[in-house]
């Protein structure tokens, strides 16, 4: 939490205004969806970038992929990476990029909505945030109707 002081003058009086900001930590989740089940989940603090996504694909995702499967991704820059393409194709899988600005076409987006909602609901029951996330991922196994 950070407290920022802002001072200003008003009719020859000094006015002190305090604003309190709650810093929120960004938690990112990457995963695949296969047969209505989350596969190869990765949860970490911070934003995703090219290096993190490449490492995820190399160390986690391709261990779950099988020949003939299709990896559906949106058009964020780090998805369109020659190393990622090479890794996915090395196991006989292929990539399908969704049209720009079309998250509604990606089934996992519906899953993320359900997971985020459940995490917000369940976090007060856990001491550690990541325990709540793990609990929700274990509980959420099918797409919402």
Tell me, yes or no, whether 130 lies in a domain: yes
Helix (H) or strand (E) holding 134: helix 129-139
Per-residue pLDDT at 18: 52
We report the CATH number of the domain holding residue 76 as 3.30.420.10
Which residues in the chain come in under a pLDDT of 50? 1-12, 142-145
Tell me, yes or no, whether 24 lies in a domain: no
Per-residue pLDDT at 67: 97
Residue 103: other Cβ atoms inside 10 A: 12
Q: What is the pTM of this model?
A: 0.74
Per-residue pLDDT at 74: 92
The 10s digit of each residue's pLDDT in 107-134 is: 888 888 888 888 888 777 778 878 888 8
Per-residue pLDDT at 123: 77
SS3 percent helix, strand, coil of the chain, rounded to 5, is 40, 30, 30
Q: Which domain holds residue 106?
A: 30-139
């Amino acid at each position: 939490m950070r407290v920022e002081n802002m001072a200003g003058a008003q009719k020859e009086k000094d006015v002190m205004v305090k604003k309190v900001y709650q810093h929120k930590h960004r938690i990112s989740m990457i995963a695949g969806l296969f047969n209505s089940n989350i596969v190869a989940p990765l949860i970490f603090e911070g934003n995703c970038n090219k290096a993190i996504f490449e490492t995820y694909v190399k160390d986690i995702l391709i261990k779950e992929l099988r020949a003939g499967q299709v990896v559906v991704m949106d058009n964020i820059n780090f998805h369109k990476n020659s190393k990622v393409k090479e890794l996915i194709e090395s196991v006989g899988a292929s990539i399908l990029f969704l049209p720009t600005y079309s998250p509604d076409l990606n089934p996992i987006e519906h899953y993320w909505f359900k997971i985020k909602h459940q995490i917000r609901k369940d976090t007060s029951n856990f001491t550690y945030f990541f325990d709540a996330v793990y609990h929700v991922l274990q509980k959420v196994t099918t797409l919402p109707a």
